[in-house]
Amino acid sequence: MEKEFDPKIVGFFCNWCTAAAADLAGTSRIQYPANVRPIRVMCSGSVDASYVIKALLEGADGVLIGGCHPNDCHYVNGNYKARRRVALLKSIFNTLDLDPDRVWLRWISASEGVRFAKVVRQMTDEIKEKGPNPMGKSTQT
Amino acid sequence: MVGIYAKDLNPREATREFFAELFGANLISSALLPARKAGLNQIFPALLSSKDSLDETFPFAPVMPLSTAVQLSKITRFADPEHTVAVLLRPCESRAAVELVKLRQISLDNVLLITRDCPGTVEPETFEEKASDTLPGFSDFTEDQIRPVCRMCEHPTAPVADINIGTFGADGGIILEAKTDKGEEILKHIALDAELSDTSSREASLKQETEKRTAFMEKNLAELKKEVAGIEGLVKFFAKCVDCHNCRTMCPVCYCNECFFDSATFHFEGPRYEEWTQRRGILAMPRDEILFHLGRMNHIGLSCVACGMCEQACPHDIRVGQLFTLISTTAQKELDIHAGMSIEDPLPLATFREDEFTEMGEEKV
């Protein structure tokens, strides 16, 4: 039997919200797929597009950026800057016919363990639907 | 104020005359103009201390070896505000300069920004081949010799200037237009042949030129978009890339002293390469050139003025300038952020608006 496609999702999680939400989901024993490889960053605003692109080129099937809700940023406005950068990244991906829907930006506060688990579940399902990321399969990148 | 200047002279001579007058009236202490390099058939920007060397200048030479905006950032560093330098820029150079002002790389305090209309440029090699004792002008070249990015450029005239030197719609001489108070003040000292109260023929000429270029752009970029579609298309497009980063070096808006892509982030140890090779079976070298181009698109896409210096610098003739034009014009339209249009505009990536992309990040689950 062919093995079911098991997507790899690289997560860039803000230290002050989404990373804590992931912790909360864990300590609350909320079940969610183990497809996400979390990387804790100090702010969603510190996630340069290059890291997202690198992850996709190296075989990630999706990238999830988790940041604080608008007006909740620990550094005042990093999440707003992240939002504009993701909008730019998606515009460029769209133009180049690279799949912009493999990059997700979600606001997940430290108290939203349930939302975190739901987002990961939803993203895993949608990426499974899409299949493996062609960007990571190219031997020439 | 808009007026016709030196209507008996051709644009080159009229512009030289205009700069001579600026020097003569002590309105400027130096000028940065395109000039013949060491008597050779190449044109580079040169700083002039007086009107004596104006014969060496070729303000309308249809060639751009580099963007003068970068040179402007060098000469305005800690500049003395008492010494006005007049700089002559073409529209894309002016727009790059605006981006560098926004990035705090140029100070316009002591600069008299003079721009001139631009019909387009050819590659320096093409220019040199055509040159003999006399240097060629725009009309000496056929349309397909003009660089594709120029043929796609929607800015035949510069949006930002103190004074613009207009040739579109000019019937002999040049059309001088003051676009700031500083420019108005200067033009008061210049003897215009006639004030131009009716600018409709100039506007019609600019509109016609812009429409022609837009049509070419739409056609060209639609083809390119098809060609580069998907990762296979992109890999094929950059197949000849040797990761030399010349495109970035010549990019006027790539201003970082140390580029992220040259940083230690990309210095890996041998065993990592071994690991990747084992995992992939084959590992294309050098690594990360697709990442470099995609990363650069994200870093400067909103500041890109589509001057095509990247493409001209590419040793393997990759149409990187056309690709950047494709992604940057699209992104700038979609995000409603337009490069080079005003020095009052905020920096694209260091700022935000609370009311933009409000649906992003919010999806309920």
The pLDDT tens digits of the residues spanning B119-157 come to 999 999 999 999 988 899 999 999 999 999 999 999 999
**Element containing residue B185 per DSSP (H, E):** helix B181-187
- On chain A, the residues whose CB falls within 8 A of the CB of B356 are 83-84, 87
Mutation target to probe the A interface, by most A beta carbons within 10 A, among B275, B283, B298 is: B298
Directed axis angle between helix A18-27 and helix A113-130, to 10°?
A: 100
What single-letter DSSP state applies at residue A109? Answer: -
Average pLDDT, chain B: 95
ipTM score assigned to the predicted complex: 0.95
Q: Is the pLDDT assigned to residue A76 strictly greater than 70?
A: yes
- Given a cut of 70, whether residue B90 has pLDDT beyond it is yes
Residue B176's pLDDT band (cuts 50, 70, 90):
very high
pLDDT of A136 reads 86
Predicted confidence (pLDDT) at residue A139 exceeds the cutoff of 70: no
**Confidence bin at A141 (pLDDT 50/70/90):** low
With cut-offs at 50, 70 and 90, classify the pLDDT of residue B280. Answer: confident
Assess whether pLDDT exceeds 90 at residue A140.
no
Answer yes or no: do B365 and A50 touch at CB < 8 A: no
List pLDDT tens digits, range A118-131.
Answer: 999 999 999 999 99
**Dihedral angle computed from the Cα positions of residues B65, B69, B73 and B79, in that order, rounded to the nearest 10 degrees:** 110
Instruction: Give the bridge partners for B194, in sequence order.
Output: B4
Chain B residue nearest residue A56, CA to CA: B291
The answer to whether residue A15 scores a pLDDT higher than 60 is yes
Which among B281, B288, B361 is the nearest to A105, CB-wise? B361
How far apart CA B57 and CA B72 sit, in angstroms, is 17
B220-233 per-position pLDDT tens digit: 999 999 999 999 99
pLDDT at site B150:
98
Both structure tokens of B269? 């140890």
Percent of chain B with pLDDT over 70: 100
User: Domains in chain A, please, with CATH?
Assistant: 9-134 (3.40.50)
> Rounded distance, CA B71 to CA B63, Å?
16
* pLDDT at B258 (0 to 100): 93
Could you give the C-alpha distances from B95 to A128, B69, B98, B102, B158, in angstroms and in order? 45, 8, 5, 11, 7
pLDDT at B279: 87
